[in-house]
Each structure stands twice: as structure tokens, then as C-alpha cells.
């Protein structure tokens, strides 16, 4: 139904500044949250932790770093950079994980031999055999209880997915069809519900990894899902050998690739409004929460647009010596002070009514003014038939003006 009604078209009103601020802040969050895995310590984050809380706890716990884990992380960096520089076409992420899994197994065996209990942390086993399709329970009492939260969650998922999609589409020089993105996300969430999963949205790291791996069409996501499903069943028990620190290094590398310096420069140097929206979105993401930041960014951009749209500009016209009408300047001497031709530039709606009234009141305070010709219709660049605007072709307006002068 949402696809039929083109609900996702509303996402096009999210400005580039909001998307850039959200993506940049999310990338920084991704990077800082991997620090504890890279250095081998564990921090317990209190509920509602912000970016600065994570940074403070991470820096405070650096003294508790596990040096074998740091060594694994350092070697992962060298191998990944080597692949990206000399063999960019190779699947660097997969090869790094395979190599570091083998190396970590050797490191942990050596630590066990020396009777050192502090081993390099690895991932838990993926037990795909326990997955069972199950229909969700349905209760009419839950509709009123969960309807509001579900709508908010769906809206945030669409915003996040569209932000990620637009960012990657801009890199690829293509256009994102948000309605198809919304349809795919809806189908994915139906599948999650049938497999006891949680609500799904777009993923910055997985989408970026998919893009860097050479994805060209939407089928890449389907292929990726099939490969992940097969991998969960076939090699799920072997994920216990993958070091968490190596995976953390690779996630940091993907997070760094999400920070687009060129887009940041464009947004910052565009307009004051774009800069303000970016700062608000970015700061809210770091100080509060990512989901709240994107809503706040959209709200601020809409308010700035309404503020700009609610300021109609009144332009007064005069007739020059050749009988042509042009905008009046301060140095012009009014030939007929009893007549004022005012053209309203900008949209008139309820938010602009009071400002328009005040501007018109100021325009009508001239002592000898008797007639005000108000032009509020849209004019074409070549002129129109409703007003004596420069280039206009309305002979009646010109004749009445000339007749008044002759009198």
C-alpha cells in the first residue's frame, strides 16, 4: 500500500545537509565503538550513552589494553592496506578474516602453551541449525499498544535506509528509487518476522562493503543474502576462530570510507542554512542519539525553508522614459506618485500573511498615493498578459497608465 501511494517520495524533502550530518556522525560512532575490540578491553556503557561517554571510557581503559590483541589488530591493518594497494580487485575483507583467523588460532595455542589464560577474543558460534520459521503471534490488543511505536520505527528505518542509499547513489552517479527501497525493506521485515528476527533497516557498514566490493545492481543484495545464509549453515561453527579485533579493524576501515570530504566541503560552503542544518544534525547525533538527530535535522531544514518561504518580497515598478516598466531604484524619481505598481515575488500562504500585510502597509504610506496595482500572478521569463512587467505584452495596462499620465 505504501508503495502504491508513493509514500517514500516524501523522503526527497530530506536535504543533503541532513544526510551528510547523519552519515558522518554515524561513521564516527561506528569507528569509536570498535576501539575496545581493537585494543582488547571491554567497557560497560551506561544506558543512553553519548559519543563523548564512549570516548571518555575508551580513553580511560586504554591502559587495560591486551597486547596480543593489539598485535593481531596491527597485522590486520598491514594486510588490509596491502590488499587495497596492490590487489584492489581481490576480496580484501574476506581474505583478511581468513588469514587472521588462522594466525589467531596459532596465537591462542601459544598462549595456552605458556598457560596464559588471557586469550585473543574471537566471535561466537553462529548456530544456524537452531533457526526455525515461526508465525508471529497476533493479538488485537497489541494493535493500539504497538501502532505508534511501529510507525515511528518504520519512519526511522525509511529515513536511515534512504540516507544510506542516497549517499551511495551520489558516489555511483545514479538516482535512488526510494519507493523500491521501501518495498525491499518491507519484504525483508516480513521475512524477519517469520524467522523470529528483529526489525531491519539499512546498514552503513554492510552497504558500503557491498558497494566497495563492486555491486552494480539491486540483485547484489539478494546474492549477498543468499551467500550469507549459505555461509551461516556451512561455516557458522567456524566463526569462533575469527578474532573480534580483526573484524573491528575492518569495520573501522569501512567507517572511514563513509566520511566523504568532498561532500562535507560542498555542504559547508553551500549556504548558511545548509551549514546550520549540518551542524545541528551532526551535533545532535553525537550529543543525543542518531535516531533523534535525523528527525531534528529534518525538522530544522523544514523550519528554515518555511522561514524563507514566508518572506515575500515586494518589488515596486516604475516607467522609464521609453515607456518600459522596470524595478524602481532609490535614485528614481516617480513620474506619477499617485500610482504604485507592486509585484509580489515569493509564495503566499498562511505563514506569510502577516508579513505580507506589514510590507503592504509600508508600501501604501506614501502621502500622494491613490492607486495601488498589485501583481501576484506568476510571470513567465518573457512577460505575461496580466501586468506591465518588463517585457510584458499587456497593452491595456500600458494604455491605462499612459492615459493617467496624459491627464
Instruction: List, for residues 137-149, the tens digit of each pLDDT value.
Output: 777 777 777 777 7
Counted residue by residue, the chain has a size of: 407
Average pLDDT, the chain: 78
Q: Which of 194-203, 211-220, 257-266, 325-334 has the highest average model confidence (pLDDT)? A: 257-266
Handedness of CA 393, 394, 395, 398 (dihedral sign): negative
Instruction: Tell me how far apart the alpha carbons of residues 74 and 257 are, in angstroms, rounded to a whole number.
Output: 19
Instruction: Tell me how far apart the alpha carbons of residues 249 and 96 are, in angstroms, rounded to a whole number.
Output: 10
Helices (H), 271-329: 272-287, 290-309
Handedness of CA 324, 326, 330, 336 (dihedral sign): positive
Q: What is the pLDDT of residue 154?
A: 77
Parallel, antiparallel, or unpaired: how do β-strands 339-345 and 371-375 relate?
A: parallel
pTM of the prediction?
0.68
| Banded model confidence at residue 339, pLDDT cuts 50, 70, 90 | confident
Least confident of 12-16, 119-123, 360-364, 389-393: 389-393
Least confident of 115-119, 268-272, 402-406: 402-406
CB atoms within 10 A of CB 359: 17
Q: Which of 216-230, 273-287, 289-303 has the highest average model confidence (pLDDT)? A: 273-287
What is the residue whose three cell numbers read 560512532? 29
The β-bridge partners of 345 are: 313
Q: What is the pLDDT of residue 401?
A: 44
CB atoms within 10 A of CB 290: 17
Query: What's the grid cell of residue 272?
Result: 548558511
Instruction: Tell me how far apart the alpha carbons of residues 243 and 104 are, in angstroms, rounded to a whole number.
Output: 7
Least confident of 139-148, 211-220, 332-341: 332-341
343-401 pLDDT, tens digit per residue, is: 776 666 656 666 677 767 776 777 777 777 777 655 444 444 444 444 444 443 444 44
Amino acid at each position: 500500500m505504501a508503495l502504491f501511494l508513493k509514500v517514500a517520495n516524501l523522503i526527497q524533502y530530506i536535504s543533503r545537509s541532513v544526510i551528510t550530518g547523519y552519515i558522518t556522525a554515524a561513521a564516527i560512532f561506528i569507528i569509536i565503538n570498535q576501539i575496545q575490540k581493537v585494543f582488547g578491553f571491554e567497557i560497560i556503557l551506561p544506558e543512553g550513552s553519548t559519543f563523548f561517554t564512549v570516548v571518555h571510557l575508551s580513553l580511560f581503559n586504554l591502559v587495560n589494553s591486551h597486547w596480543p590483541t593489539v598485535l593481531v589488530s596491527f597485522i590486520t591493518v598491514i594486510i588490509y592496506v596491502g590488499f587495497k594497494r596492490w590487489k584492489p580487485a581481490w576480496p580484501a575483507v574476506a581474505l583478511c578474516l581468513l588469514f587472521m583467523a588462522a594466525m589467531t588460532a596459532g596465537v591462542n595455542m601459544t598462549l595456552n602453551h605458556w598457560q596464559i589464560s588471557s586469550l585473543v577474543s574471537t566471535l561466537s558460534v553462529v548456530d544456524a541449525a537452531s533457526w526455525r520459521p515461526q508465525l508471529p503471534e497476533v493479538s488485537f490488543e497489541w494493535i493500539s499498544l504497538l501502532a505508534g511505536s511501529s510507525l515511528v520505527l518504520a519512519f526511522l528505518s525509511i529515513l536511515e535506509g534512504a540516507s544510506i542509499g542516497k549517499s551511495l547513489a551520489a558516489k555511483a552517479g545514479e538516482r535512488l528509487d526510494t519507493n523500491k527501497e521501501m518495498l525491499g525493506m518491507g519484504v525483508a521485515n516480513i521475512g524477519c518476522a517469520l524467522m523470529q528476527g528483529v526489525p531491519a533497516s539499512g546498514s552503513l557498514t554492510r552497504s558500503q562493503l557491498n558497494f566497495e566490493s563492486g555491486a552494480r545492481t539491486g540483485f547484489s543484495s539478494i546474492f549477498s543474502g543468499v551467500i550469507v545464509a549459505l555461509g551461516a549453515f556451512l561455516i557458522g561453527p567456524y566463526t569462533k576462530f575469527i578474532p573480534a579485533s580483526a573484524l573491528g579493524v575492518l569495520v573501522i576501515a569501512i567507517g572511514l570510507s563513509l566520511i566523504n570530504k568532498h561532500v562535507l566541503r560542498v555542504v559547508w560552503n553551500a549556504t548558511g542554512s545548509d551549514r546550520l542544518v549540518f551542524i545541528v544534525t551532526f551535533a545532535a547525533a553525537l550529543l543525543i542519539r542518531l535516531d533523534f538527530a535525523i528527525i531534528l535535522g529534518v525538522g530544522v531544514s523544514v523550519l528554515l525553508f518555511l522561514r524563507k518561504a514566508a518572506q515575500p518580497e515586494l518589488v515596486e515598478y516604475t516607467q522609464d522614459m521609453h515607456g518600459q516598466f522596470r524595478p524602481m531604484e532609490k535614485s528614481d524619481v516617480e513620474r506619477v506618485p499617485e500610482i504604485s505598481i507592486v509585484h509580489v515575488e515569493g509564495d503566499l500562504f498562511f505563514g506569510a500573511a502577516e508579513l505580507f500585510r506589514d510590507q503592504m502597509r509600508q508600501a501604501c504610506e506614501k502621502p500622494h498615493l491613490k492607486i495601488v496595482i498589485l501583481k501576484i500572478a506568476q510571470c513567465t521569463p518573457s512577460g505575461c498578459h496580466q501586468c506591465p512587467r518588463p517585457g510584458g505584452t499587456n497593452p491595456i495596462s500600458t494604455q491605462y497608465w499612459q492615459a493617467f499620465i496624459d491627464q
